[in-house]
Structure 1
Amino acid sequence: MKNDEKLLIYMHIPKTGGTTMKNIIQKQYDPREVWFHMEKDMLPKLEQKLKKKDLKCVGGHCWYGLHQHFHKPYTYFTMLRDPIDRVVSEYYYILERPHHKAYPAVVTMDLMDFIQEFPLKSSNQHTRRISGNIKSPNLEAAKENIKNDFAIVGLSEMFDESLFLMKKAFGWDDITYQKVNVTKKRPSIEKLPKNVVAELEIRNELDLKLYDFSKKLLLEKIDQLDFRSKRELKNYMNIQN
């Protein structure tokens, strides 16, 4: 079965370009065909919606295993980001938004405090979601899920290439975009205290390995493109940049 005949499940991992992705996805479908912002209490509504044949893509801050609610052919796709950079971005993102539910706590913390006080946000977020085990992330399970049930695992650092592969896999049309929801006031990784970076590396050991694994698969997919597609990718990247 082709990917464009399956229900597409977009796993939005925080601070991986998800708002930009949402805007791109919404350009591909009629409003009746797409559903975003899934939470547990919304699943009954979604299950009812899925009984209709017009739903083609669902997305949100979900985890692997969501497909079990749907009882129809499916495939996942997602974007990863350098794990250290992702955590730093999330911390400063919260600081910029007083309406964020974590803001009252986070505004009193430095980055090291945030890492220690918010372990689910600051450690192995990719592996937790892709393995389907939020509390006990499993690297090998995440790798198997990627190989078996993910059409594309893109990278924020290779956003254009990732998006182009999604276009090819899902039969999308216009994938031009402007980045939105970008965290503006934050230091680069190079300017962070070394002990903070070291702590992040320890806490994201699984995500660092999963990122490297996913990058290898992504580069293989790009290498397998035919000459015409590679030229199309180059032209698209020139337009975006």
Structure 2
Amino acid sequence: MTQPRFLYLHQVKTAGKTVEKFLLRKFQDQFCKTTIIFNEETINNIFSILNSKDQAKIDILNNARLVAGHFTYGLHKMLEGESRYFTLLRDPVSRARSYYAYSLKSEGTKIHRYLHDNNISFEQFIEMKQSDIEKADVHELNYVLEDGQAKVMSGEDIRIGEDYLTDNLLDLVENNIKKDFDFVGTTEMFDDSFIEINKLLGFNAFNTYITQNRSTVKVDVSDAARKVILERNKVDSALHSKYMNQVSQVANSFEHKLAR
């Protein structure tokens, strides 16, 4: 029986670079990164990858056993054969803080220039609206500030400011997970999630990883800022809480403890 192709859906600021470096080391020439193949699309709008008609690029993905990168649910529909997803989720407050801190030191990027030139505080950053995102010209902020993890996993390009029903978005994501995801872990329980990813891919659970992209910039989160983030990320918070509990249950299982 032919093994499925695995799709590592790399959510922004969820320890994804650490996972990708490990996967590259393991899969080598059978590893493919959409961020490189679809570089322009990734920068402009990751959802545009789904509309690509560039067969040469699509063939590169088809020839890979492991595809990773910033893409959205729906990539499997472009590809031949069976594909199975896995991903990591992160607490929305920690994720927003991490993204802001990382952006402050990422000189040369659009988001760094926008934050620096406009002296944007963390409190202003988390309240950015669509008009602000257009000024910054950083489309991925749509998937950082407002239920972004859920939007990416829904396969629906919902921009900040566009109406959506929280329950409908949550149901859509849960249905996608049920159909096409083999594992959803969390950044906060990275070691336990890493063991499960290894098991999923058929590797020894004692593999090691090297932490990547850890920011040294300290950002304090006030109670008021936390409230704003949670209000804008109700679906992300619900998903994160659910899969934190699931990973915790798996971590306490006899089989998982043997693997540690």
Q: TM bucket by the smaller chain? A: 0.7 to 0.9
- Asked whether the equivalents of residues 11 and 63 of structure 1 are also in contact (C-alpha less than 8 Å), the reply is yes
Who is 1:64 aligned against? 73
Work out which of the residue numbers 85, 101, 125 in structure 1 matches 2:94: 85
| Percent identity between the two aligned chains | 25
Who is 2:157 aligned against? 134
Tell me, in whole angstroms, the C-alpha distance in 1 between the residues paired with 2:82 and 2:170: 25
SS of the equivalent of 1:30 reads helix
Tell me, in whole angstroms, the C-alpha distance in 2 between the residues paired with 1:203 and 1:17: 22
The answer to whether the aligner puts 1:203 opposite 2:232 as a matched pair is: yes
Pair 212,51 (structure 1): closer, same or farther in 2 beyond 3 Å: closer
Who is 2:211 aligned against? 179
Work out which of the residue numbers 91, 99, 109 in structure 1 matches 2:108: 99
Pair 51,213 (structure 1): closer, same or farther in 2 beyond 3 Å: closer
Q: TM-score normalised to the size of structure 2?
A: 0.79
Which structure 2 residues correspond to residues 101-180 of structure 1 after superposition, within 5 A?
Answer: 101-107=110-116, 108-117=119-128, 118=133, 120=142, 121-135=144-158, 136=164, 138-173=169-204, 175-180=207-212
- Asked whether the equivalents of residues 13 and 61 of structure 1 are also in contact (C-alpha less than 8 Å), the reply is yes
Pair 83,26 (structure 1): closer, same or farther in 2 beyond 3 Å: same
Q: How large is the Cα RMSD of the aligned pairs?
A: 2.1
- Asked whether the equivalents of residues 84 and 180 of structure 2 are also in contact (C-alpha less than 8 Å), the reply is yes
Gaps of 5+ in 1: 234-241
Tell me, in whole angstroms, the C-alpha distance in 2 between the residues paired with 1:175 and 1:150: 22
Who is 2:137 aligned against? none
Gaps of 5+ in 2: 42-47, 134-140, 159-163
Deviations 1:29-51 (A, max 9, x none): 132x0111333487533312245
- Asked whether the equivalents of residues 115 and 200 of structure 1 are also in contact (C-alpha less than 8 Å), the reply is yes
Who is 1:236 aligned against? none
- Asked whether the equivalents of residues 76 and 83 of structure 2 are also in contact (C-alpha less than 8 Å), the reply is yes
Q: TM-score normalised to the size of structure 1?
A: 0.84
- Asked whether the equivalents of residues 6 and 73 of structure 1 are also in contact (C-alpha less than 8 Å), the reply is yes
Tell me, in whole angstroms, the C-alpha distance in 2 between the residues paired with 1:124 and 1:24: 27
